[in-house]
Structure formats: C-alpha cells, structure tokens
A and B are shown apart, each in its own frame.
Chain A
C-alpha cells in the first residue's frame, strides 16, 4: 500500500469526535506566543526584531552611586533580542530573561538620539518621559539595523497622539505617587484611587508593609515603574518575598500585563457598563445570587459599596465575554482583586488572568479546569510515584481534592493573605505556579495522606493544613531559626525549589496531550445529558436521537461548544446544511442549478424551519429539531399526510386557501424531485423491475422447456436502467399534475364558480416534456385567476393524496425512508465505506431478485412443497423492501457510469440482517443527465 493510501485509510478511520477535537488543538502562531509571553494586548504583533545590547541609566540613582560621577555612567550591558510591535518596544536578555527584560510603551519615549559613537557599532540613546535613559547598541548588519531604526522612527511618529493619554493614566498609578511624595518631595499629592483595602484595611499582618514599600521605592528609582519598568532579578525577588499591600494592585497589573490593556483601552470599562445598563441576562441573574456570598468575611463585602463594585466588574466582564458570562469562583477572584484595585483595574486584570493564566477555567463547560486537573494528575504520577500508587490503589479521585484550589486560585482554600502571596507569584511566573504549589502541598502532607484511604479524609487533612499555614513547620526543632519557619514558607520553598522542574512548556505540553480526551469527554457527557433531557418522542429511537444529535452539532460548530463558547442553536443556513446531510431530497444535486427548483427548495425549507421553531427566534434548538423530525417521520400514512398538511395550515383551521394549495404542490414538486430526476428509486419502480426480471427468467426457463421445479437461476441479470427511470419520472410528473388538477376540482370554492381547467389526460404516449409544459400552464392558469378563492380541508387533501398511487406511496414509505436518521455520521462520509456499501448493495440485490424469482416459480408450481423455506424468506424481504428507496452516496455516480458492472456473489458468505439493510439502502441508479445512453447493470445471483 502506498504511503498516501495508508494515510487516506487512516484518515477515514478517524471518528467524528476525534476529528473534531484534532481541529481544535490550538496551534499558536509566533505572534500569539509573543503576546502571551509578554502579556501584551490583542493588537500587538512583532513588526521587526533584532539583536541588541542594552544598558540602562537612571535619573534617580541613589546618592551613593551618583557620587562616583564618572563611573555612574557605566551600567550593566545586557545582550538580548529587541522587538518592535505597534505600540511597544520589547527587550529580553537572551541568556536569562529574568536578568533584564522590559516592555516599553513607545509613547513613553521622549527622545531618541544617535549615541556618541564609541565603537564602529550603531547605537541609539533613548530617553523616557520619566527620565530613564537607555543605550541600545545594535548588533548585526548595518542595513538590517537601518531597517529596524526606520520602522522604529515610523512608530514613534504614529504613537505621538498616545502621549496625551500618558499623564492621566499615570495619575492612577501608586508608584507615581510614591516617587512624587518621597523623591520629588511634593507634599500636596494624594494617593490615586485604589482598592477597597484603602478604606477597609488589607487582610493580614501589616508589619512588614513599610520596609517592603521602601525596597520597591528604591527599585522604581533604579529601574523605572509602571509602563517603563525594567524587570531584573531584584524585581522577581521582591515579588517572591511578598508585595506590599499598597503596591499590590499596580504590581499585579504589571505582572499580568493588564496595565497594557487598560492603557490601550481607556474608557472601555465604563462604556461596557453604560452600554449594557439595565439589560438582563442569565449571567446577571447568576451574579446577583452570589454577590452577598463573596468573601463575606471581609468587611467591605457586607456593605453596599463593596458589593456594587463587585457587581460592576462581574457584569462588565459578562458583557465583554458573553461566552463565559459568569462562573462561580470568579466572584471570589474579583472580590480579592478589588481589595487592591479599582474597578477598572480589577476588570482588566480579570480579563488578563482568564485569557492568559487559566484559559477555559470559567468557560461554560469548564474544560480548562478539567484539563488542568488531568495535567495535575499526570504530574503527580510522574513526580510522586508513591503517592500516585496510593491514590490509584485506593480509588481516590484526586481532582475532587485539588479542583477547588485551581478553580478559585487558592482563595477558598488558604487564608487570604497567603492566597495573595500565591497570586503574586502566579502572575509573575505563569500557570506552572499552580502545579508547583499543588504538588508541594501533596508532598509536604505526603506522610499523613499515605495513611488514609479515601478522598474525604484527604480533604480533611489538607483543610487542616491550609488553616495552620502560619504555624511553625518545625515546632519541635531545637534551633530557633528552624522553629521560626512557618508552614507557608516551607510550602514556597518546596514549591519553587523542589518543583522548579515543572516548567511552563511542560504544562503546555501536557495540556495539549490531554486536551483531546477532555473535549471528547465533555462532548459525550453533554450528549448524554442533552439526550436524556429531550422530551418524549414517538417515532425516533434512542439511536436515531443520537445520530440527530451528532448531525445537529456537526452543523453548528460544536467544537466551540465544548470549549464553552458559541451558540448551541441552529440558524437557517445551518438548518439547510443539517437536512442535506441525511435527507435525500435536500442533498445538493444538479437540480439545484435550476432557479425554479432552488426557489421551491428554499420556500419549503423555510416553511419547515419556521414551523419547527418554538421560541419565535430565528434559531432552532436541538429540541425543536427533534420534535420536528419526529413529526415528519410519522410512521403511518395518515399522520404523515396530516403532518405535511399542517405545515401549510398556518391558522390551524384544518383548511388552506388556494395560495397554499399552490405552495403545497410546489413543495411536493421539490420533495419528489430526487425521484423524478431518477436519482433514487421508489418502491413502485423497484417492484416493477423485480417483476420484469422475474418474468423474463421464468419465460426463458419455460422456453428452454425445463420443468418449473428445477429452475436454475441465471448467473446474471441485466436491466434497462434508462427505461425505468423514464417511467418513474413520468409517474411523478403525472402525480404532480393530477394533484393540482384534483385539488382545484375538489377544493370547496368560496363562490360557486367553475374553474376552467385544461384537460390533462392520462395519455400514455404523451411525452415527458409536454406534460411538464402542461403542468406549468395549469399552474399559471390557477394562479392567475384572481377569482380563485377556493379552500381545501384536510380530508380533501388526504383524499387527493390517496387517489394517486405515487403520492400515496410517497407519504407511506418514500418520504420517511428518505430521511436517514438511522445512519451514523461517518458511515456515509468515508469513501472506502461507500464503495463497500455499494458492492454489498449489488450482492444483496441479486439475491433478492433471485428469491423473487423463486417466489414466482413457487406460485406457478402450486403443488411444489419446496415453498416453505421461500415463504419465510419472502416475509423478510417484505421488510427490506421498505428500506429500499433510501441511501445514496455520490460516489456511486462515478462508478455507475461504467456500463457494465459484474459482480460475484459469494454464496457461502451470508450477510447478516444488519448489513443487509445497509446494503439495500445503497442501491441506486446513476443520474440520467450524466449517462444518456442506456446503461446495463448486471447482477449475478
């Protein structure tokens, strides 16, 4: 087998859900990765990048350094990569990004000049609005450097308007206040608006607040602040030891990158709230339920102001991201953020956390949460094999224990002050932090955990552990320094030293490894739930419902749904696509090229769509579709006719007017087109083919003079396909014209007025084209007559349908069997499968014709006792006949173009009833428009 064949075969074997999940393993492009790494807003992308050496000089250098006046101009030089995005100049040290990296908003650049040349290299000296100077020495070819500088110059010019935004923005930053107050000695400045902590105090011990603030003040002087901050080792160290409460809001903004989105979108938060004021939604309802229950122990959340802020931020987010809306746990996260941040700051920080740190955690299916639980389990398995052994052997469900930690970012597990510390580190170090801390929690409590054997006890032990984080980790140690180490400090050491082996790329890798499984599970869970909650139906089996479910979601981008986004309803276009997947009369065909047919198709489908819709909206739910199909698939002739009639009986009076009669006939024309054009065969044609074949066999046999008892079935049969197609087409046309004629004949006119109808005789010799013409003129005649105000009731409609064998058959069998709710997705999609079906179809058909012959022979040879076996067979066949008209894959057409297909029937290989059904569905004729000359199909029995 060639490489490509094997590939193709593999592809065909992939199940529907697998395919789905595969498509949505997100592959990030370079820009997305870049944005994620530097936490930059959506609109940023790399415009250019180059290698460069950067050194930074600061205006506020503390006095002791400034004393060495000459030397102070010498600073560390960092070699790394410099990137340009539309609004940012980004740098990171190539060897260790934590030694120097910055993300400068270009509008903060006040001056750029050629640096005095100290070597052959090309250098720029950049002065920022805050006074920081940095020298960038480009490394690389001169023309590349020129190109970069040229781009840089352009961006500087483009960013000039943004400099106006700078001053008001900086007023919201606490670091600016600190500098103004302590360095510039401006005594009249007020601290910028901040979180609830300003008024209601910050939770936890505040004794270290002042020395920590001092350290940060020094850092800001050395390395810049907010939009111009340069992060080095010291920055990360200061974060690790815990951020002072007053600066926490701003530093969380810097670390999460929400500072950049807030700067880029001034006023958006307010606009979101204003634009949606007074609107109602599911999310808002859910938010209201939880407002009084978010960190209720914190004083501000027992008062109006705190609750209002919480409401605003959660509501704004639900409008910003309606796919997520609101998820319990967000209230706790936001309540925590609001202690340190203003509403607007908390809003953007929430956006950044949800997008960059915990993607999918709060989505409607919470797939991110489930995924990270799986990832966590895999880390436990890898890094703590003993614990894993214990967990699996005792059937303990780890995620039951750990899920709340992740979901609420430890806020509901640990005392608040510790959860804030974890948050500090999470925002600067990324999602790996969760896993490191969670692993450390298990590790530290390992001995205790190994002694218990159920998840409830696990929880109890860990609950106790979290509540005693402030206790000494080594209470019995002789060394006082050991005794002073708290359990929390121990936790950090274990998490970030011992489990530093867990990296972000490992997390990414594990996430993509398990994503497919998780999405698959969510999908099958959602399917089970939805199917279970569907209302009772009469004509659909559970298997049918399952297939309908798959098809429904196939047509409305179900991938988005398992990620928790997107609508789960179906619009009209998706509806058409949906039906075309399993209804023979809706499948795309060459008839679609005729405008008239397209019009009929659209009109009927639109009618169906409107009828099925329950909510009056322009969308269908799964329930609507199930109900609709259930009606359409009525099992008996009468209810099938009634249902069809009700589609047109808009007032529900069991009566339709002349206009609707025309529409019914148009709809019937559309529905029967597939048979009229010979793409499918109905039961009547099928029967006449079999009769003819059987007749000819019997005749041949008797001509040979053989006795009827030992009649031999011929090795093959040939049929004249074109002839039957022609007959069928004429039958359908005749039915259509009969219908219209009788409709107006039997319709009860509002006024007694004879309608002048042209004669439509059943003249056998009349050509198809002539009939078609006649029908058109008849229709025009009726439609044009302004006095035509006849009405038709249901009983009349039924009578007219029953008066015509073809239409009767259509409602009794053909329509129902043309709707393949019993076929699974994929069974008709894969090329290989279709081919096999077709072969099987011929085999089964040959057999059936053969038994038809036998039956005939039996009936002739009345006294022959061999009929018993055949009779049993015949009843089976009768059932199969019902299924015959259905099923047709386009691949057949290509193959059927060959005039002769000869097939061997393997007698020893009796197909089971299930496959037999499938086979029969696949039998069909090729399209007449493609093969004008008579094609002969040979069967071997």
Chain B
C-alpha cells in the first residue's frame, strides 16, 4: 500500500510501576510480562500503525517513573508531539502525580502537545481489587485540561491500541500542514520541528514496505 508516513514522537510519563512499559510492550509486541525490569533512564521503541490513507510511525519514549528521575524527563518530552500520562486506578497517589505531570507538560512541553490521560491496571479492578481513582475524577481532569482519556489494562490489552489510535487521529491534520510547509521551504530548514517534517517528506513518496 502506498501511503504517506508521519512520525510522532510520543513520551510516557507517570509514577513508578503504574505500567508504562507494559502499555508500550502491549502496543508494540502485543505481549505482557508480569515482572518487567524497571526502566532505567528511558527506553525507546517504535511502532507503525496504518491509519487508512496514511501510516503513522510512533517513536515511543518510555521513561523511568521513580520520583528522582523526574528531573530527567524534560530530556525526553522535549519536542514530543504526544504524551501518555499514566496512573494506576488502584493507587490514588499515582493520580496526584499524573496531575503534576499534566501541569508540567502544559508549562514546559511543546505548546500543541496532545496529552492522553491513561488509567491503567483496569483488570485489577475487574478481578476484585478496590478502585481508588474514580472514573469521574479522571474525566473531570481530562475535560478541564483538554486531555484524551482512557482506562486501560496492559495485561488484558483492553483499550491500549485505542489510546494510540486516538492520538494518531488527532495528529495527522497538523502534521500534514507542517509537511507541506516543510516541502515548501525545500526542506532545508533546521529547527526543532524540521526533523520530523524532513523525514516525512523523504519517506512519503517512497513505497512503504511495512504496514501493520
């Protein structure tokens, strides 16, 4: 299939052990590991998704969740077009942290970053664990801050792909515009955004061999 390729830099943020890496693993390899090594610094993975008329390549930065790693986060969300702020629906503390991340992203990250709020470990609630973060509370935050919102389970895979698809659907319009701008200026511009545009311009016409 011959379709345009858009790259999206996406970063995952959230408290330690809420399942950031597991969400990525589910999305990238449709797999789940009970005991995943904590992410040290950050991990980098990619996944392509076919969105009909075009393909999106997600460049995923999965960050470490421990509090003290927070000062490294700007390194990763720099230039990110999308962010997943993840919390654990059974851990209220992780939701507080999620609020902080949303605030920080709004203040420090790219202006038009798309943020998705993700309540993970829904399977635990379904199997009897007590839900500690109300659906309503999270929805409120999402509507106040203009976030996408999902409750997911990386373990069962429920809703995980939907998060990424929703992000993919929100992005292409803007990217396509930028792409044209990039081509218009003969692709020689070097600035923060140009990286994505340039490659998109190069990759676009080439027949894409891999589609998911």
A-to-B contact residues, CB < 8 Å? 286, 289-290, 292-296, 327-329, 331-332, 363-366, 369-370, 393-395, 397, 399-400, 403-404, 407-408, 412, 453-456, 459-460, 522, 525-526, 528-529, 532-533, 564
Contact of A366 with B72 at beta-carbon distance under 8 Å, contacts A286-B66, A328-B40 already known: yes
Of the A-B pairs whose beta carbons lie under 8 Å apart in the complex, a sample of 9, sorted by A's number, is A290-B16, A296-B35, A332-B40, A394-B195, A408-B40, A453-B199, A460-B44, A525-B74, A529-B70
Q: Could you list 17 further interchain pairs (A-B, Cβ under 8 angstroms) beyond the known A365-B68, A408-B40?
A: A286-B16, A293-B37, A296-B37, A328-B16, A332-B40, A366-B68, A395-B190, A395-B195, A399-B75, A404-B41, A407-B40, A453-B199, A456-B44, A456-B46, A456-B59, A525-B74, A564-B68
User: Do B75 and A397 have beta carbons less than 8 Å apart?
Assistant: yes
Q: Which residue of B lies closest to A525 (CB)?
A: B71
User: Do B195 and A453 have beta carbons less than 8 Å apart?
Assistant: yes
Residue numbers in A under 8 Å from B38 (CB-CB) = 289-290, 293, 328-329, 331
User: Please, how many angstroms separate the alpha-carbon atoms of A296 and B39 in the complex?
Assistant: 13
Confirm or deny: B103 has a beta carbon within 8 angstroms of a beta carbon on chain A. yes
| Chain B window 1-31, contacts with chain A (Cβ cutoff 8 Å), 1 for yes, 0 for no | 0000000000000001100000000000000
User: Do B16 and A400 have beta carbons less than 8 Å apart?
Assistant: no
> Nearest Cβ in chain B — how far from A160, in angstroms?
46
User: Do B44 and A403 have beta carbons less than 8 Å apart?
Assistant: no
Interface hits, B90-105 → A, CB 8 Å: 100, 103-104
Q: Which residue of A lies closest to B76 (CB)?
A: A400
B-to-A contact residues, CB < 8 Å? 16-17, 34-42, 44, 46, 59, 61, 64, 66, 68-72, 74-76, 78, 100, 103-104, 107-108, 190, 192, 195, 199
> Nearest Cβ in chain A — how far from B181, in angstroms?
18
Residue numbers in A under 8 Å from B59 (CB-CB) = 454, 456
Residue numbers in A under 8 Å from B42 (CB-CB) = 400, 403-404
Task: List the 6 closest A-B pairs by CB distance, nearest first.
Answer: A404-B41, A403-B41, A292-B35, A459-B44, A289-B17, A328-B38
Of the listed residues B35, B39, B70, B100, the one surrounded by the most CB atoms of chain A closer than 10 A to its CB is B35
Identify A403's interface contact among B72, B108, B195, CB under 8 A.
B72
User: Do B40 and A404 have beta carbons less than 8 Å apart?
Assistant: yes
Of the listed residues B44, B68, B108, the one surrounded by the most CB atoms of chain A closer than 10 A to its CB is B68
Contact of A293 with B64 at beta-carbon distance under 8 Å, contacts A522-B71, A532-B103 already known: no
User: Do B44 and A412 have beta carbons less than 8 Å apart?
Assistant: no
User: Do B107 and A532 have beta carbons less than 8 Å apart?
Assistant: yes
The main secondary structure of chain B at its interface with chain A is mixed
Residue numbers in A under 8 Å from B44 (CB-CB) = 400, 455-456, 459-460
Of the listed residues B42, B44, B76, B103, the one surrounded by the most CB atoms of chain A closer than 10 A to its CB is B44
Identify A365's interface contact among B37, B61, B71, B100, CB under 8 A.
B71
User: Do A364 and B41 have beta carbons less than 8 Å apart?
Assistant: no
User: Do A533 and B68 have beta carbons less than 8 Å apart?
Assistant: no
Q: Which residue of A lies closest to B17 (CB)?
A: A289
User: Please, how many angstroms separate the alpha-carbon atoms of A528 and B103 in the complex?
Assistant: 11
Residue numbers in A under 8 Å from B104 (CB-CB) = 529, 532
Residue numbers in A under 8 Å from B40 (CB-CB) = 328-329, 332, 404, 407-408, 412
Q: Which residue of B lies closest to A296 (CB)?
A: B35
> Nearest Cβ in chain A — how far from B58, in angstroms?
10
User: Please, how many angstroms separate the alpha-carbon atoms of A296 and B34 in the complex?
Assistant: 10
Q: Which residue of A lies closest to B21 (CB)?
A: A293
User: Do A370 and B16 have beta carbons less than 8 Å apart?
Assistant: no
User: Please, how many angstroms separate the alpha-carbon atoms of A296 and B71 in the complex?
Assistant: 27
Residue numbers in B under 8 Å from A397 (CB-CB) = 75, 78
User: Do A454 and B35 have beta carbons less than 8 Å apart?
Assistant: no
Residue numbers in B under 8 Å from A399 (CB-CB) = 75
Residue numbers in B under 8 Å from A454 (CB-CB) = 59, 195
User: Please, how many angstroms separate the alpha-carbon atoms of A365 and B108 in the complex?
Assistant: 19
User: Please, how many angstroms separate the alpha-carbon atoms of A529 and B69 in the complex?
Assistant: 13
Q: Which residue of B lies closest to A405 (CB)?
A: B41
User: Do A533 and B16 have beta carbons less than 8 Å apart?
Assistant: no
> Nearest Cβ in chain B — how far from A376, in angstroms?
13
Identify B71's interface contact among A370, A394, A395, A459, CB under 8 A.
A370
Residue numbers in B under 8 Å from A369 (CB-CB) = 72
User: Do B68 and A293 have beta carbons less than 8 Å apart?
Assistant: no
User: Do A366 and B71 have beta carbons less than 8 Å apart?
Assistant: yes
Residue numbers in B under 8 Å from A294 (CB-CB) = 37
User: Please, how many angstroms separate the alpha-carbon atoms of A332 and B40 in the complex?
Assistant: 10
User: Do B68 and A364 have beta carbons less than 8 Å apart?
Assistant: yes
User: Do A366 and B37 have beta carbons less than 8 Å apart?
Assistant: no
User: Please, how many angstroms separate the alpha-carbon atoms of A525 and B74 in the complex?
Assistant: 10
> Nearest Cβ in chain B — how far from A455, in angstroms?
8
User: Please, how many angstroms separate the alpha-carbon atoms of A393 and B191 in the complex?
Assistant: 10
> Nearest Cβ in chain A — how far from B206, in angstroms?
16
User: Do A393 and B190 have beta carbons less than 8 Å apart?
Assistant: yes
Q: Which residue of B lies closest to A402 (CB)?
A: B41
User: Please, how many angstroms separate the alpha-carbon atoms of A532 and B109 in the complex?
Assistant: 14
Q: Which residue of B lies closest to A291 (CB)?
A: B35
> Nearest Cβ in chain B — how far from A15, in angstroms?
21
Residue numbers in B under 8 Å from A286 (CB-CB) = 16, 66
User: Please, how many angstroms separate the alpha-carbon atoms of A286 and B39 in the complex?
Assistant: 14
Of the listed residues A329, A370, A528, the one surrounded by the most CB atoms of chain B closer than 10 A to its CB is A329
Residue numbers in A under 8 Å from B75 (CB-CB) = 397, 399-400
Residue numbers in A under 8 Å from B195 (CB-CB) = 394-395, 453-454
User: Please, how many angstroms separate the alpha-carbon atoms of A404 and B38 in the complex?
Assistant: 12
User: Do B35 and A293 have beta carbons less than 8 Å apart?
Assistant: yes
Q: Which residue of A lies closest to B70 (CB)?
A: A529
Q: Which residue of B lies closest to A526 (CB)?
A: B71
User: Please, how many angstroms separate the alpha-carbon atoms of A270 and B168 in the complex?
Assistant: 54
User: Please, how many angstroms separate the alpha-carbon atoms of A456 and B10 in the complex?
Assistant: 11
Residue numbers in A under 8 Å from B71 (CB-CB) = 365-366, 370, 522, 525-526
Residue numbers in A under 8 Å from B46 (CB-CB) = 456, 460
Residue numbers in B under 8 Å from A365 (CB-CB) = 68, 71
Residue numbers in B under 8 Å from A453 (CB-CB) = 195, 199
Residue numbers in B under 8 Å from A364 (CB-CB) = 68
Residue numbers in A under 8 Å from B66 (CB-CB) = 286, 327-328
Contact of A328 with B76 at beta-carbon distance under 8 Å, contacts A393-B190, A404-B40 already known: no
User: Please, how many angstroms separate the alpha-carbon atoms of A295 and B36 in the complex?
Assistant: 9
Residue numbers in A under 8 Å from B69 (CB-CB) = 328, 366
Residue numbers in B under 8 Å from A403 (CB-CB) = 41-42, 72
Residue numbers in B under 8 Å from A456 (CB-CB) = 44, 46, 59, 61
User: Do B36 and A293 have beta carbons less than 8 Å apart?
Assistant: yes
User: Do B192 and A395 have beta carbons less than 8 Å apart?
Assistant: yes
> Nearest Cβ in chain B — how far from A648, in angstroms?
34
Q: Which residue of B lies closest to A325 (CB)?
A: B68
Q: Which residue of B lies closest to A289 (CB)?
A: B17
User: Do B37 and A533 have beta carbons less than 8 Å apart?
Assistant: no
Residue numbers in B under 8 Å from A394 (CB-CB) = 195
> Nearest Cβ in chain A — how far from B106, in angstroms?
9
Q: Which residue of A lies closest to B107 (CB)?
A: A532
User: Please, how many angstroms separate the alpha-carbon atoms of A459 and B70 in the complex?
Assistant: 21
Q: Which residue of B lies closest to A331 (CB)?
A: B38
User: Please, how many angstroms separate the alpha-carbon atoms of A525 and B72 in the complex?
Assistant: 10
Q: Which residue of B lies closest to A329 (CB)?
A: B40
Q: Which residue of A lies closest to B106 (CB)?
A: A532
Residue numbers in B under 8 Å from A370 (CB-CB) = 71-72
Q: Which residue of A lies closest to B192 (CB)?
A: A395
Residue numbers in A under 8 Å from B41 (CB-CB) = 400, 403-404, 407
> Nearest Cβ in chain B — how far from A411, in angstroms?
9
Q: Which residue of B lies closest to A458 (CB)?
A: B44
Residue numbers in B under 8 Å from A296 (CB-CB) = 35-37
Residue numbers in B under 8 Å from A533 (CB-CB) = 100, 103
Residue numbers in B under 8 Å from A528 (CB-CB) = 107-108
Residue numbers in B under 8 Å from A525 (CB-CB) = 71, 74
User: Please, how many angstroms separate the alpha-carbon atoms of A399 and B199 in the complex?
Assistant: 23
Identify A328's interface contact among B36, B64, B74, CB under 8 A.
B64
> Nearest Cβ in chain A — how far from B172, in angstroms?
20
User: Please, how many angstroms separate the alpha-carbon atoms of A363 and B192 in the complex?
Assistant: 32
> Nearest Cβ in chain A — how far from B103, in angstroms?
6
Residue numbers in A under 8 Å from B70 (CB-CB) = 529
Residue numbers in B under 8 Å from A295 (CB-CB) = 37
> Nearest Cβ in chain B — how far from A162, in angstroms?
39
